[in-house]
Amino acid sequence: MKWIAAVLTTLLLAVGAFAQDGSTGAASPDVLSAPTPQIGHIYVPESSREQPAGFAHTTYVLRSIDGSKPGPISSAADEAALPGPDATTTSLETPQSLGCLYVKSPSYAGCVPHGLGGGGGGPSAGGYGAIAIVDAYDNPNAATDVTTFNAQWPLAATSFTKIYANGNGSCTTPPPNAGWALEESLDIEWAHVFAPNAAIILVEACSNSDTDLFYAEQVAFNYIATNFSTTGGQVSNSWQGGEFSGQIADDPLFADYHYIGGQGWKPPILAFASSGDGGYEGATTGYPSGNPWLISAGGTTVLRKTGTLAFSSESCWSGSGGGISTYETYSGSFTGGNTGSWADFQDPIYGQSARRTPDLSSDADGASGVFVYSGYNGGWFSVGGTSVSSPSLASIINRAGNKLGSIFLHAITGNNGFFNAQENDLLYSQLPTALAYKANFYDVTTGSNGTSAVKSYDTCTGVGTPRGLNGK
């Protein structure tokens, strides 16, 4: 049974879901609990609300001062910090503050958010290849948005390209859409923050139908394979729909092996997808988030010390999507999807059972959200949701530079290889280590999205959040 409760009051918005573990195999260690109350007002835009079967929604939320539909940030009061539990507070995060938190760049001073007036820069030069963003509809202001965003902090200029995924005949030019335009601004701006050397490619689908978005996914992978053939990159998807019968056949669209066989199984390309903003979903998960080839991006709340705004802790964000796939179950023979020997990164936790989400997390709570500039919507916004996590994590892993995909080539095999989920293999392999896990990740152990955050892996924050670039 799934439920999502939303109560917009002055101090509380609770979002969560409960369900029994409907999987087979090893007993689930997931601990059901009440979702952690959110602080302040969170507004869910129309584009982020559940859509009919066969259509996807965005995965961002907005912080609202009074619970109504928020407009652009227009005053210092709009940026005011909201009170958190105990002696902590939440604040709008910036490229500087999250850069310091997640990648520990040494090129700038200070690790606290300073707001729109504070500047402060961001991570130093880093990154490679390209990060492609797949979204629906057109953002007419995309190029100027990222320029405005970069100038604000300031950040390095972005190598930016926009592509219409119209080759399937669904449209000539995707029509503009305000909700998806803000999503696209968020994605291109925060994909740039942690890997400023990576080119940003915005691929716009004709609509938010699965048909058009899955076609756009192919355009994104093929563009990187063709134009960044020596480096590869990442593809970020800040959207999701529900699971559906037959999705296994679509899983390879999110894996590089589907595209690069004719090029000697190179370059490596890795996909990311938001885990969703509705809390724990029980015996289902969003799609493509549950696809085992990609990194499912969950969300946290960043808590800071009152007064100094120094980092205090990260907690499970109550809206962070998580769940157990209905269709991505264990298989003993290769199917192109499912879990199995090619995607066995969760076997040490759950045994040979269904795929769980998320895998890795970063800041996503609307109360500790990030600044996004959307000219089509009128200016600066405070944005949260796992739409922040997906491009941010893609950017952090791009910066780490391990260039992992789904093909392992080796001289012993004559440079033929086996398909495997390499990035997830790396992330999960560090969980039992005595030193690497503590050094490379922040283990989130407080809060709940409907399942409690616990030590090591959980279905709210995955393996945790990044600390530095090692092990990514």
- The backbone torsions φ and ψ at residue 167, rounded to the nearest 5 degrees and listed phi first, read -70, -15
How far lies 321's CA from each of 2, 111, 247, 389, in Å? 12, 28, 19, 11
List the Cα angle 74/75/81 in 5-degree steps.
Answer: 115
- For residue 88, the model assigns a pLDDT of 78
Report d(CA 82, CA 94) in Å as an integer.
16
Q: How confident is the model at residue 11 (pLDDT cuts 50, 70, 90)?
A: very low
Q: Are 225 and 267 in contact (CB under 8 A)?
A: yes
The strand order across the sheet containing 379-384 reads: 41-43, 61-64, 379-384, 370-374
- For residue 287, the model assigns a pLDDT of 98
- For residue 111, the model assigns a pLDDT of 84
Residues 414-463: tens digit of each pLDDT: 777 899 999 999 999 999 999 999 999 999 999 999 999 999 999 999 99
Report d(CA 211, CA 206) in Å as an integer.
10
Residues 187-237: tens digit of each pLDDT: 999 999 999 999 999 999 999 999 999 999 999 999 999 999 999 999 999
279 DSSP assignment = -
Q: Is 123 helix (H, G, I), strand (E, B) or coil?
A: coil
| The pairing of beta strand 417-419 with beta strand 295-305 | unpaired
Residues 294-316: tens digit of each pLDDT: 999 999 999 999 888 889 999 99
Q: How confident is the model at residue 9 (pLDDT cuts 50, 70, 90)?
A: very low
- For residue 76, the model assigns a pLDDT of 56
Q: How confident is the model at residue 81 (pLDDT cuts 50, 70, 90)?
A: very low
How many residues does this entry show for the chain?
A: 472
Which of the pair, 11 or 318, is modelled with greater confidence?
318
Q: Torsion angle of alpha carbons 187, 188, 191, 194, nearest 10°?
A: -130
CATH fold for domain 41-466: Rossmann fold (3.40.50)
- For residue 29, the model assigns a pLDDT of 61
Residue 273 has pLDDT above 50, yes or no: yes
Residues 83-124: tens digit of each pLDDT: 455 567 888 999 999 999 999 854 555 688 988 877 678 899
Radius of gyration of the chain (CA): 20
Q: Is 134 helix (H, G, I), strand (E, B) or coil?
A: strand
Report d(CA 42, CA 358) in Å as an integer.
22
In DSSP notation, 247-267 reads GGGGGGGGSGGGT-GGGTS-S
- For residue 38, the model assigns a pLDDT of 72
- For residue 114, the model assigns a pLDDT of 87
Instruction: State which H helix or E strand residue 192 sits in.
Output: helix 178-193
The arithmetic mean of pLDDT across residues 4-33, rounded, is 39
Dihedral sign, Cα of residue 329, residue 332, residue 338, residue 342:
positive
Which of 20-34, 125-139, 405-419 bottoms out in mean pLDDT, i.e. has the lowest?
A: 20-34
First to last CA, the chain: 35
Report d(CA 94, CA 35) in Å as an integer.
26
Q: How far is CA 137 from the centre of its chain?
A: 20
Greatest CA separation for the chain: 63
Which of 75-89, 324-338, 388-402 bottoms out in mean pLDDT, i.e. has the lowest?
A: 75-89
Site of tokens 């109504």 = 68
Residue 310 identity: A
H helix runs in 12-141, sequence order? 95-102
Q: Is 203 helix (H, G, I), strand (E, B) or coil?
A: strand
Beta partners for residue 370, in sequence order: 93, 383
Q: How confident is the model at residue 261 (pLDDT cuts 50, 70, 90)?
A: very high
SS (HEC) of 429-442: HCCCCCCHHHHHEE
How far lies 466's CA from each of 99, 269, 303, 437, in Å? 11, 20, 16, 10
Residue 80 has pLDDT above 70, yes or no: no
Average pLDDT, the chain: 89
Q: Torsion angle of alpha carbons 232, 233, 239, 245, nearest 10°?
A: 40
- For residue 21, the model assigns a pLDDT of 34
Residues 146-181: tens digit of each pLDDT: 999 999 999 999 999 999 999 999 999 999 999 999
